[in-house]
Amino acid sequence: MQTPSGFLLIDKPAGMTSFGVVARVRRQLSEQAGKKVKVGHTGTLDPFATGLMIIVVGDYCKRAAEFSKLDKSYEATACLGAISTTGDPEGEIMSVPGPEPTRDRIEAVLPQFTGVIQQTPPIYSAIKIDGKRAYKLAREGKQIDMPRRTITVYSLQLTNYAYPQMQFTCHVSSGTYIRTLTQDIATALGTTGYTLQLRRTQVGKWSIANAISPEAISFDSLIVL
């Protein structure tokens, strides 16, 4: 009997790696099928982040690129007045005294980061440099020259602000790093910042509202286009 193919909408919890999600899906589906099932992801989420991951199963693994190229939406919380070596809560964090931006100042700066812009990805990322993951080179203490890339920010909206925390939502093109976006916004405000919380809410037309937890996986949950 042929193993069913399709994709799953998974709500990744904080603390789990994207590869951990793939491993759990593979293990559970393989146990249900009684044989090894091919499983892959269509774009990683940092361990501290939560939210929507599209996991491809069986023959749909060949279509992973279709999903990875889709636009994405996020809810993010930035912590201003501090820096992190990784740009998120998992790095070494240091307070950096500086100005406390007003809400009006933030609202005035955000339009600079909408539309087509340039971005330098963080060194702690899964991007390959000379065949090796950038985060592995960073952990080895290697000097890394990260190439700048062109991304598109379709929308960027401040949703709440109580210094030092700044909450915003954004709809961005594939390949956008929210950790970098946070740092660049903080720099434009004359201060520092890192991404404290991050939740992916949408990938293309697929919403987190229709996602399931990794524990609830079954072949009945597969979506087929």
**How far is residue 216's CA from residue 219's CA, in Å, rounded to a whole number?**
10
H/E stretch holding 21: helix 18-33
Q: Which token pair is 141?
A: 């203490």
Structural element, H or E, at residue 144? none
Return the H-helix or E-strand segment holding 84. strand 82-84
46 annotated active-site: yes
Dihedral sign from CA coordinates of 21, 56, 125, 141: positive
Please pick, among 11, 46, 88, 184, the residue that the annotation labels catalytic: 46
Sign of CA dihedral 125, 130, 136, 137: negative
14, 56 in Cβ contact below 8 A?
no
Catalytically active residues, by annotation:
46
